[in-house]
Amino acid sequence: MKFLDLCKVYIRSGSGGNGATSFRREKFVEFGGPDGGDGGAGGSVWAEAVDGLNTLIDFRYQQHWFAQNGQGGMGRERTGKSGQDIVLRVPVGTEILDEDEETVIADLTELGQRVLLAKGGNGGWGNVHFKTSTNQAPRKANPGQPGIDRTLWLRLKLIADVGLVGLPNAGKSTFLAATSNARPKIANYPFTTLHPNLGVVGIDNVEFVVADIPGLIEGAHEGRGLGDLFLGHVERCAALLHLVDGSSGTLLEDYDTIIEELDAYGAGLSEKPRITVLNKIDTLDDEERAFLREELENRARSRVYLMSGVSGEGVPQVLRALRAEIEDERLRRRREEGSEREDAPWQP
């Protein structure tokens, strides 16, 4: 299945049915009076986060979503049938943006979450509503309200606990394949990964989700390479895993490139907890490992882990460090949510 994380859709809610202008015409009923029924309400357009989807590819082939119009009212005070609602079923983690691609209408981060995108028009009143003592035969009825037309953008941000960042060929896909059941494409050339991959990683009877995104290069925020097109998928992550290729001859420059791109992208990525790893240590001897680790720690001003995704050396230590960062971030979020509930005004 092709991966698609951004698409444009056109929606329209249903128009309400018109009210009816009708009069009773029955034998032996001399003054029947008005009996025009109301029009039915138009259908609404909803969006719902459902299970089993991880791409927006369905909306590439169906961009127009129109709800059903309400039926017009009829005589004998019969109300028209209401139009059926229509539901856009999207993956969990989908943002719904207005036409300007900036205004966030909804962020569906939980399974079963549902939001109204366009309400259907109300049905019009029939002439039975306009009967008065001075106007006993009204020939007036209301038209139904028109539906709402909207142009929206759907943007998918994968729900993951850890996001992998690094230059192309830094070993991100190899790490994901070695620690989970995911099988991303691995090859010895840049940009082997063309779309994000998810894998479930386990350590010490605890599981968390890791997202592998295409590699970044210098100038990615300006659109070079694959650009920062997929960085949105790590915005929700609790921690970032920064892999640095130990076999590269420009180790510090590689590290600086990724940090600068994260800063240029914004969205709080540079402030997220980050684990820095010197990868591919199976190609280095002990002296080279110690020297490069010290160089990288001086630049990162934090601990640097040694790892080889191919041989598995150092992988458990890295996973335990990630687990600790994820648990700390989840605890912090629970505390913030608890303080927000305490600060909220009491409502009877």
For residue 245, the surrounding DSSP H or E stretch is strand 239-245
Residue 1: the pLDDT is 47
Mean pLDDT by 10-residue block, N- to C-terminus, for the chain (348 residues)? 80 96 85 90 95 85 94 93 95 91 90 94 94 90 95 87 85 84 65 70 85 71 59 81 86 88 81 88 88 90 88 89 84 65 50
Q: Tell whether 159 is in a known binding site.
A: no
Shared domain for 109 and 208, answered yes or no, is no
| Residue 249 assigned ligand-binding role | no
- Cα 63 off chain centre by: 17
pLDDT of res. 348:
45
Within this chain, do residues 170 and 289 fall inside the same structural domain, yes or no? yes
Instruction: Output the six-digit token pair for 89.
Output: 């079923």
Domain-ending residue, one of 101, 126, 156 = 156
Residue 325: the pLDDT is 87
Instruction: Note whether 8 and 84 are same-domain residues.
Output: yes
Q: For residue 262, what are the CA distances in angstroms to 124, 238, 312, 322?
A: 54, 15, 28, 19
Q: What is the domain extent for residue 21?
A: 1-156
Tell me, yes or no, whether 123 and 172 share the same domain. Answer: no
Q: Is 227 annotated as a binding residue?
A: no
CATH code of the domain in which 270 resides: 3.40.50.300
Amino acid at 175: F
Mark whether 176 and 313 lie in a shared domain: yes
How far is residue 7 CA from its own chain's centroid? 12
Examine residue 345 and state whether it is found in any structural domain, yes or no: no
Residue 132 located in a structural domain: yes
pLDDT at position 337: 60
CA 48 to chain centre: 11
Note whether 326 and 199 are same-domain residues: yes
Residue 18 assigned as binding residue: no
In the prediction, which pLDDT does 335 show? 67
Which residues does residue 240 pair with via DSSP β-bridges, in sequence order? 163, 274
202 and 87, same domain (yes or no): no
172 belongs to an annotated ligand binding site: yes
Per the structure block, which two tokens stand in for 245?
């290729």
96 marked among binding-site residues: no
Q: Are residues 19 and 83 in the same domain?
A: yes
**Final residue before a domain boundary, out of 134, 156, 178:** 156
Shared domain for 113 and 178, answered yes or no, is no
281 annotated among ligand-binding-site residues: yes
* Domain-embedded: residue 347: no
Tell me: is residue 151 an annotated ligand-binding position. Answer: no
pLDDT at 167: 84
CB of 60 within 8 A of CB of 43? Answer: no
Q: Point out the domain boundary residue: 156, 184, 215.
A: 156
Q: Contacts for 109-112 with beta carbons within 8 Å, 24 or more apart?
A: 109/49, 109/159, 109/236, 110/49, 111/49, 111/50, 111/51, 112/48, 112/49, 112/50
Statement to judge: residues 150 and 201 lie in one domain:
no
